[in-house]
Amino acid sequence: MNVTFRPRLDRGADGLNPIYCRITVKSKRVNFSTNLVSKWDKVKKKAVGKNATVVNQELARIKADLTEIWRDMDRSGTAYTSKMIYAAYTKTAKAPVSWLDTFDSFGFLVELKIKSKELKDTSFVEWGKHRAHLVHFLEFLKRKDCYLDEIERSWYQIAKSYFLTRKNQKGEQLKWNYVRRIMGYLHRTVKWGFDEGNLDRDPWSGLTMAKRKPTLEDFMYLTHAEVQKLVAYQPVNNSMKKTKDIALFMMYSGLSYKDYYELSDELVKESDGDWLIGERGKTGTAFFVPVWKFPVLGELIAKYDRDFKKLPRLSNGRYNVYIKALLAEAEIGDKSGVFTTHDCRRTFAMMCWEHYGLDDKKVAEMLGHKNTQVTHEHYLMLTLGRVRNGLSGI
């Protein structure tokens, strides 16, 4: 930071110059009036004349105050600008607020909404993950934090490119739609700062990442033939036996792992047979699964005495490891290295759509989706088998 004093070129009738202060930080300047007037020596860069002593003492005090503010900001480890130093000096504007502080205040809002049941408990977990993403991005920019009014429009593209090259804990590159969620969350916190009056404008206004539909490379599921191969396989290890039952239950019910894990008394007997009926933990949307339509599911329920509390449970992380090992043992090897918990739910959707010939609306209802858009974008992929199934009725 550099502080200098300069006279205004136009003099008053008494021949005195109004004196201005200039704060410069990284070539960015802020000029403001000191409300002092005096004759000015351009060589010595100080006031001269009758009132010179008083004026120079006051200018020294202004410089000392600005320097103290700058040192406090510099010691805090956060970035600063000439505008922020001036705002802190005059105290006429709101004190600058950092991005991480804004993120934390947004997290407090999330907590309040969770307590009022407006949001699910998982919302706070999601907030924590995105805060970690922000910290990593700031480290990429070689910063511990930054003030909101430092955020530039170009940072959106920089952040997007940064996250698209990042890898998760498994060493896999982050997918487009996940990065889209990260960018949406970061933008939401920037907008939150604007709504709270800590920003004059939203620097990322109008910037979004378009949705990208999954490609064949992204889309992972087991075909009906591969599921039947898994049904026929008899593992020896007890952990693999549990993993097989969990996998088949989810592949024939379409439940997410969380919904499976919390399953209790959702089995309803109707005239046409058993139905699995409940609400999705993530959205609260109802789901309906005709157990009588899937004999494997009925056999699993009977195996555990129709008591869902007896179903095997593994932690999601442990199950993700075991399912890969199970598929490798069953020699479904081309998918064993990348298959995850959620791919069981996608397998259910694809079996219903491709093998059983159910339409997208029925699949969406069984999955507990509010509309078919999510079903099409994340769970259904047009395949030759589906086309053949559709042509069979012609």
CATH code of 364's domain: 1.10.443.10
The last residue of a domain, from among 175, 195, 215 = 195
Question: Each residue of 279-335: pLDDT tens digit?
Answer: 887 777 888 888 888 999 999 989 998 888 889 998 887 888 888 888 888 888 666
Q: Is residue 216 in a domain?
A: no
Residues 299 and 368 in one domain: yes
Expressed as residue numbers, the domain containing 34 is: 2-90
Domain total of the chain: 3
pLDDT the model gives residue 188 = 92
**Any domain includes 211:** no
What is the share, in percent, of the chain residues with pLDDT greater than 90? Answer: 20
Whether 271 and 375 share a structural domain:
yes
Q: What's the pLDDT score for residue 384?
A: 46
What stretches of the chain adopt beta strand conformation (E)?
A: 2-7, 17-25, 28-41, 46-48, 267-270, 273-279, 286-290
Alpha-carbon distance values, 375 to 128, 184, 338 (Å): 27, 21, 21
155 belongs to a structural domain: yes
**205 part of a folded domain:** no
Task: Specify the pLDDT at position 130.
Answer: 94
Output the pLDDT for position 391. 44
Q: CA 349, CA 360: separation in Å to the nearest integer? A: 9
- Mark the ranges of the chain whose per-residue pLDDT is less than 70: 9-15, 78, 92-96, 212-219, 265-273, 333-337, 381-394
Number of residues in the chain: 394
Q: Are residues 6 and 149 in the same domain?
A: no
* pTM (predicted TM-score): 0.49
Last residue within a domain, chosen from 70, 90, 110: 90
Is residue 214 domain-resident? no
Do 249 and 355 fall into the same domain? yes
CA distances from 310 to 242, 264, 307 (A): 11, 10, 6
